[in-house]
Structure 1
Amino acid sequence: MKVAVVGAGAIGAYVGAALTRAGADVHLIARGPHLAAMKQHGVRVLSPRGDHTARVHATDRPADIGPVDHVFLGLKANSYAACGPLIEPLLKDGTTIVAAQNGIPWWYFHRHGGPYDGQRIESVDPGGTVSAVLAPERAVGCVVYAATELAGPGVVRHLEGTRFSVGEPDRSLSGRCREFSEAMRAGGLKCPVEPDLRNDIWIKLLGNISFNPISALTRATMREMCRHRTTREVIEQMMTETLQVAAALGCRPAISVERRLAGAERVGDHRTSTLQDLEKGKPLELDVLLAAVVELAGITAVPVPTLRTVAAISDLLATRSAA
């Protein structure tokens, strides 16, 4: 099995190292000092489960890799529309794109069934620019429950979690999903094939849609947001409205607002990825987390006043940070 990891940052390099341990033919696409370090030393993984080094091919030239069986997409969603030059040399008939994306994916309504089947979500696929690069029929969804960070060039620190849930847009238990899942599990990760990954998407989104923008607006950690009474009330309302939108689309994630908040508080003084991006001057990945759900609320006629307010303020923050 030949796999290319496009965007081999903390998560991508971690997955690439695991697949290499499983015996897959893995190629990492990265840039800068991180690429140089991986070329020279491989990927060094520091983990409570045991440290190890994976010797793996790394490059910034996808044409040197050629067509692969699976592309694991580790880029932020706001980079998808421009990633064509990275993706095109890797494709052949049947190449799967496994997108490890937070938030609502561009393929959400692909083979969804029902009245919204095939509908495009403008917030995540503006003008069809993402679908033009990442054909929905190639997509396999992936919800990441692992936390990693780059401790330095070529060095991934695994913090917690090893689960990467995957699933088909049409809810089938396909051969391509099973093949990728088996390789991930052989590399030491959890990778269940979910019959309806959309439920996992909403479970993960329940935290991202609330904590990520609020943390960027307040500069607060997870613990601080959970323990500040009025901020916690805003987050509770955002989560409640999100579950109402999910229900209108036929999804009922098996988690309560109370349980999600309790889990977030246990994380402690962690700064969300959105806050870290803000502090580093990087673009904020809020369209797929927040604007998309507001758009879905409009489609399904679900009132979401708190989400709309936070989205409006967050949009100004994202606009100013990008200036």
Structure 2
Amino acid sequence: MRYLIIGAGAVGGTIGGRLAQSGHDVVLVARGKQYEALRDHGLRLQTPDGPHTHRLPVVDGPEALGTLRADDVLILAVKTQDSTAALAAWGPRPVAGGGTAAQHLPLVCAQNGVESERIALRTFRRVYAMCVWLPSTFVEPGVVRAEGTPLSGILHLGRYPEGSDDTVRAIAEDLGQSHFDAPVVDDVMRWKYAKLVANMVNSIEAVSGVIDGDEGRALLRQARAEGEAVLAAAGIPYTSQQEEQKVRGGRIRFEPFDDVPRGGGSSWQSLNRGTGSIEADYLNGEIALLGRLHGVPTPINDVLQEYANEAARQRRPAGATPVGELTAAIAAHR
């Protein structure tokens, strides 16, 4: 199989680089300065086991590849707010032997949130979900830092909305050869909803900085509790923290290396790079949506979504807003 990594940032760069390192056929897809850096200097993947430079084929869109191969696997690793545009670009591409990518090729959503799979299933017939536990940072154009050890990540995989098949088992086998654990599960969305609750930290961390104080930790607990209450009202199952820890415990650790401490998560990185967009609508906004559908107030996630979006629009740096301002805004919103 050939892997087309659509969005070669922190997650996509780590998955693509590790697959290439173990001998798999990989094409990176990127835009702007990231595309130029990957084209000119290769993917520089920094890991606890050393730096690796991968000179891989890189394109800035599907037109550069022409007709796709029948054994291509599309790994969608853009932020969810960019999914619709990416799917519209790749879905109609012709595939060798006839038909289009949307008709024939497997699409794996390697993203936070739970909405991209649903968006993809409107046009793609073979959609797979991936729950991404993968500590990585998009440092600068062409450079990705993957801090996980001894594994780079744990990637639960399954067909969307449920089930498994030979394709997902083959993908998992390739990932298992590439510094990942990739369990195939029939209930993959149960894992992704648990990750959604865990991602309540993202906006707090992005807006107010890496959480290390009592006030920030208290706000995180409240945001998680609100998310859990919404999922309970909606009747949506998700894995427990104990079940997640049993899977991850000791098998993947976040360890700084080269004396460089890890920064924040994906939303923190979006603000830090000044991208102008952030995934809050599909994290806090998902909880707000479900709350409105099921009659559960979500003042904490409403405020976190609003503040994260405003910070992205104004291109404020990560950590520019005190936690106290957030908690005051939430109190006023109740």
Quick check: 1:70 aligned with 2:51?
A: no
SS of the counterpart of 1:163?
A: strand
Give the whole-Å Cα distance in 1 for the aligned partners of 2:193 and 2:172: 21
- Is 2:235 the partner of 1:241? no
Once the two structures are superposed, the pairs formed by residues 91-102 of structure 1 within 5 Å of their partners are 91-92=100-101, 93-102=103-112
Letter in 2 for 1:272: G
Residue of structure 1 equivalent to 2:28: 28
Match of 1:297 in 2: 291
**Given the alignment, which residue of 115, 129, 137 partners 1:105?**
115
Cα separation, 1, equivalents of 2:238 and 2:138: 34
Q: Which residue of 1 aligns with 2:319?
A: none
Identity %: 25
Tell me, yes or no, if the aligned pair for 1:222 and 1:272 is still in contact at 8 Å. no
8 Å CA contact 1:107–1:136 kept in 2: the answer is no
Going from structure 1 to structure 2, the CA distance change for 1:284 and 1:252 (only over 3 Å counts) comes to closer
TM-score, normalising length from structure 2?
0.75
Once the two structures are superposed, residues 253-298 of structure 1 have per-residue CA deviations (whole angstroms, 9 ceiling, x without a partner) of: 2117xx8xxxxxx988733332332243321211100111111122
Q: Which residue of 1 aligns with 2:269?
A: 276
Corresponding position: 1:200 with 2:188? no
Is the Cα–Cα contact under 8 Å of residues 6 and 86 in structure 1 kept in the other structure?
Answer: no
Bigger shift: residues 189-198 or 286-295: 189-198
**AA matched with 2:115:** P
Asked whether the equivalents of residues 38 and 58 of structure 1 are also in contact (C-alpha less than 8 Å), the reply is: yes
The 5 A counterparts of 1:119-138 are: 130-131=119-120, 135=123, 137-138=125-126
What amino acid is aligned across from residue 154 of structure 2 in structure 1? R
Residues 194, 238 of structure 2: 8 Å contact kept: no
Q: Which residue of 2 aligns with 1:145?
A: 133
Q: Deviations over 1:88-125 (max 9, x none)?
A: 327434211111111222335xxxxxxxxxxxxxxxxx
Aligned to 1:127: none
Structure 2: give runs of 5+ residues left out of the alignment.
95-99, 246-253, 256-260, 317-334
Looking at structure 2, the residues matched to 289 and 273 of structure 1 have their Cα atoms a distance apart, in angstroms, of: 12
Match of 1:118 in 2: none
3-state SS in 2 of match to 1:222: coil
SS in 1 for 2:108: strand
Deviation at 1:299, TM superposition (A): 2.0
Q: Which moved more, 1:281-290 or 1:153-162?
A: 153-162
Answer whether contact 1:166 1:193 (CA < 8 A) is retained: yes
Which piece of structure 1 moves more, 90-99 or 2-11?
Answer: 90-99
The residue identity in structure 2 corresponding to 1:76 is K
> How far apart in 1 are the matches of 2:10 and 2:173?
22
SS in 2 for 1:203: helix
Once the 2 structures are TM-superposed, how far is the Cα of residue 154 of structure 1 from its aligned partner? 2.9
Which SS does the other structure have where 2:163 is aligned? Answer: coil
SS, match of residue 116 in structure 2: coil
The alpha-carbon distance between structure 1 residues 44 and 214, as it changes in their structure 2 partners (threshold 3 A), is: closer
| 2:155 equivalent among 143, 153, 164 | 164
Other structure's SS at 1:13 match: helix
- How many Å separate the matches in 1 of 2:268 and 2:105? 34
State the match for 2:205 in structure 1.
Answer: 215
- Counterpart Cα distance in 2 of 1:288 and 1:184: 26
1:155 aligns with 2:148: no
Distance across 2 between alignment mates of 1:44 and 1:131? 30
Count of matched residue pairs = 286
Structure-1 separation of matches of 2:295 and 2:56: 49
Partner of 1:125: none
| TM-fit CA distance, 1:303 | 3.7
Rounded Cα–Cα distance in structure 1 between residues aligned with 2:238 and 2:17: 34
Give the SS at the match of 2:117: coil
Partner SS state of residue 74, structure 2: strand
- Preserved CA contact (<8 Å) 1:222 1:270: no
Is 1:85 paired with 2:84?
no
Cα-to-partner distance string for 1:206-238 (whole Å, 9 max, x where unaligned): 2322x22223332x2122xxx233x33222121
